[in-house]
Structure formats: structure tokens, C-alpha cells
Amino acid sequence: MTTTKKLYCDGVYVCDYESNDDLDDDQMAVIQILKQRGLHKEVTLEQSIFRQAVSFGTTAAYLWERDLNRVPRQGISIAPFVVNATFALELYLKSISLLHGSKIHGHDLVDLFDSLKADARQSLASAFQFAKWPCDVKDLDQYRVALLKIRKAFVEWRYLHEGNPRAWTHKLAAKSESQRV
């Protein structure tokens, strides 16, 4: 069965197209339409990783603002916040490394940071002045110290249900619960 779907590019309506509800076919059709209209843009690996970093970072910011930075706190959002925030950091480090000619692997934020070439680190340092969120990190040394505190948080928090949660996890949840009363 075919259906008609609307195609948007950068939030602007382009056209309707016929779909047989097969995602692969739809993807090919959409790419073809965008190419025919001069709207298709190739995305580099660096851009793709950076875009994912932005999406995970945006999700973390949303959870922080909506659930964790107001009373009563929604403690159930702590794990998704930590996972999204630290995964965003991981992807940012990987994208900046690729931009400077090196591919890095893993989830340990300190190992990833330490693997950055000097020019990638300098590029990262120059971005601190544009940070939207106020923090005490003003240079690479402070950044590394901050990463030390959360270096394995992505791995530890994404499967929190499989191990023994840290004591401070309970403290955060208890604090959240006590503020509901």
C-alpha cells in the first residue's frame, strides 16, 4: 500500500511524495528528490558525529531544565541525563579529533581527551569562551579535571540496572524524593 508523505528540508516544505512505507525505499526517494531540486547536501563523518553530539547534548539540557533543575525534581531523569550528557561529550571529543585528522575510540572521556592532538586541544580550548552554561572550567587543565570525575559515566550509567548503583545515586534520588514532600 502506498501513502503520500510530506517532505521537509531544514523545516521548509518541499513536496509530497509517494511512499510504500519501506524506510530504505523512502530514504532513496527522498535523496533523489532533494538531489533533483539541488537541496541535497552530503554530510561528512565529522558533521554526522557532531550533529549526534548536539542531539544528545540537547536532550541532556532538556532533561536538566525540565526535570532536574526545579523542585520537585524528577529523580527518574538522572540516569538519562547523565547518559545523554556524557555521550554528547564523547561525541564532541571524537568529532573534534576527526576534524584534526585523527580517529579516536572508546568511551573513557579522559582517554579520549588525552588522545587529542595538540591542535585539536587548542581548538577545544578556544571554544570555552563560547560556552552557554556557566561553569568553572576555563582552561584545558580544568576541563581534564572535570572529565576525571565523569570519565566512565556513560558506561556506568547506561546499564545502571545491571550493577550496584553508587551510593551517591541513592543520595540524588533521595534528595529528589524529599523535595517532593
For the stretch 48-100, pLDDT in tens is 999 999 999 999 999 999 999 999 999 999 999 999 999 999 999 999 999 99
Q: Which of 105, 62, 110, 104 is nearest to 84 (CA)?
A: 62
pLDDT for 59: 98
Do the bridges between strand 3-9 and strand 12-19 make them parallel or antiparallel, or are there none, so unpaired?
antiparallel
- What is the pLDDT averaged over residues 113-129? 94
Q: What is the pLDDT of residue 135?
A: 80
Lowest pLDDT segment from 45-49, 92-96, 108-112, 131-135: 131-135
- Domains of the chain by start residue, with CATH: 3-37 (no CATH), 45-172 (1.20.120)
Is the pLDDT at 17 greater than 50, yes or no? yes
The per-residue b/e assignment along 139-170, b for 16 or more CB within 10 angstroms, e otherwise, is eeeebbebbeebbebbebbbeeeeeeeeeebe
Distance CA 178, CA 49 (A): 39
- Extended beta strands in the chain, E state: 3-9, 12-19
Q: Residue 15 pLDDT more than 60?
A: yes
151 close to 109: Cβ distance less than 8 angstroms: yes
Q: Helix (H, G, I), strand (E, B), or coil: what is residue 9? A: strand
User: What is the C-alpha separation between 2 and 161, in angstroms, rounded?
Assistant: 42
Model-level pTM? 0.78
Burial of 107-119, coded b for 16+ CB within 10 Å and e otherwise, reads bbbeebbebbeee
- Percent of the chain scoring above 70 in pLDDT: 90
Q: What residues pair up with 4 in beta bridges, in sequence order?
A: 18
| pLDDT of amino acid 164 | 56
